[in-house]
Amino acid sequence: MTDRTQLRVVGRRGAARQAREREAQRYVPNAGLSVPVVTILDRSGEVLEDEQRAVVRWAVQDGHGANIIFAAGTTGEWNKLDNPRRQQIARVVVDECRHIAAAGVAVEAWVGITGHTRTETLENLEYALELEAEAVVVAPLSIRDADDPVGFVNREINALFERARRRIPVFLYDNAEIAAPGQAPHMHTRDVKQMSRMDYVRGVKVTAGKAVLGNYTRAASHFNRGGDFAIYAGDPYLIFDLFAPPTGAGGWTRHYWNRYWTRDSLPYGIVAGPGNAMPREWQRALRVCRNGDSALMHRYAQMLEEFRTACEFNRGGRGARPTVACLKAALVEMGVCRSEALAPETPAFSGGERREFARRFKEMRRRAAATLEPGWLSEVEAERPQARRARKDG
């Protein structure tokens, strides 16, 4: 290669990098449905890439399901997998979303980069940059050696971006169930405000009840003055309460308290783990909630709540909900994938629970088909010809 040719190649790469940087700066958070996909493993713990791709396509539902696919999140068992597998799942999901987008269906791929250590997390961030994911998600309180979560996000992540000479939108993740030992269960709003001063921090996913979610929504107007800062509800069932139009004395009381908790600032979007099993239903539920259609809201709330009930079992007088096991079993029952193996330490079915869940899920699907609107029942669809060609060409 001549010196002149080398200069042209370097110039093109530099121009492409600058274009990606401008795109990241113009990024507007997606206000739709995010599905944190389960990770499909075999019994030895290896990622089954073909089946994982099928799960991504199922979640997108040819444009009628997830707007965002979130890889390597808690529902994806990130904290039960080693770092190479986290990166493998990120690669597969980003690549499959790229094929889907090439076929004309708009979908974003967000990569969970949280590792048990700062080193792992930064390695995952660097890998997400190489993959050119649309965004990354980090849970600062889940990193065991991040004694200063604000410093990690504002200094260490920024330093990596400076070295890479490009940035990517970063979303924070707040979930008390995965907080590292010794860490607070939730981020302080003052800390989130400080982290949001970085122009790449574009929002937070909050898996908590109305009180904690309200702490963020009330403070959202003070976050990130340079751009949008989105609040995503990690408990998607909250939308049926928060978006409910006021009717009757009880409805007006609830409406008043919801306004108090949230200061009239409703969640920007939702991250729905149950959307793994019912992506179309959750997409439609979000739409009817935003429209304030109380009759349809009631119909979808009742059906989607039934799935949560189907995942609950009585074990010696105590309730148990092996959610990830149920989501994987539902995908197998639907014919989306064949394996429902769990990562080590993920809560599993006990006794005859798997058979009972299959019965409940089948009955719930039968009622959903009779109750919900035509076209909004999730189905396994034939792969679009454009997607096949894009995958072959890629």
Q: What is the DSSP string of 299-317?
A: HHHHHHHHHHHHT-EEETT
pLDDT digits (tens, 9 = 90+) for 61-113: 999 999 999 999 999 999 999 999 999 999 999 999 999 999 999 999 999 99
Predicted local distance difference test score (pLDDT) of residue 223? 72
Residue 186, C-beta contacts closer than 8 angstroms, at least 6 positions apart: 141, 174, 176, 179, 208, 212, 215
pLDDT digits (tens, 9 = 90+) for 285-309: 999 999 999 999 999 999 999 999 9
Predicted local distance difference test score (pLDDT) of residue 343? 98
pLDDT digits (tens, 9 = 90+) for 105-114: 999 999 999 9
Classify 199 as helix, strand or coil. Answer: coil
DSSP 68: E
Q: What is the dihedral of CA 21, 26, 32, 37, to 10 degrees?
A: 10
pLDDT of 8 higher than 80: no
How many residues are listed for the chain in this entry? 394
pLDDT of 375 higher than 70: yes
Q: Do 309 and 343 touch, CB atoms closer than 8 A?
A: no
Predicted local distance difference test score (pLDDT) of residue 267? 85
pLDDT of 394 higher than 70: no
Least confident of 25-39, 115-129, 369-383: 369-383
Q: What is the mean pLDDT of residues 320-336?
A: 98
**Structural domains of the chain, ranges and CATH numbers in brackets:** 30-393 (3.20.20.70)
Instruction: Identify the bridge partners of residue 33 per DSSP, sorted by sequence position.
Output: 270
Q: Residue 85's CB: how many other CB atoms inside 10 A?
A: 19
CA distance 287 to 281: 10
pLDDT of 254 higher than 80: no
Q: pLDDT-derived band of residue 228, with 50, 70 and 90 as boundaries? A: confident
Predicted local distance difference test score (pLDDT) of residue 247? 63
Q: pLDDT-derived band of residue 246, with 50, 70 and 90 as boundaries? A: low
pLDDT digits (tens, 9 = 90+) for 169-180: 999 999 999 999
Predicted local distance difference test score (pLDDT) of residue 213? 83
CA distance 76 to 53: 14
Token digits of residue 85: 């597998």
| Predicted structure pTM score | 0.87
Mean pLDDT of the chain: 88
pLDDT of 382 higher than 50: no
Least confident of 28-42, 183-197, 215-229: 215-229
CA distances from 284 to 163, 290, 375 (A): 42, 10, 10
Predicted local distance difference test score (pLDDT) of residue 221? 65
| Helices of type H across 75-171 | 83-102, 118-131, 149-151, 157-164
- If one compares 388 and 194, the residue with the highest pLDDT of the two is 194
pLDDT digits (tens, 9 = 90+) for 158-168: 999 999 999 99
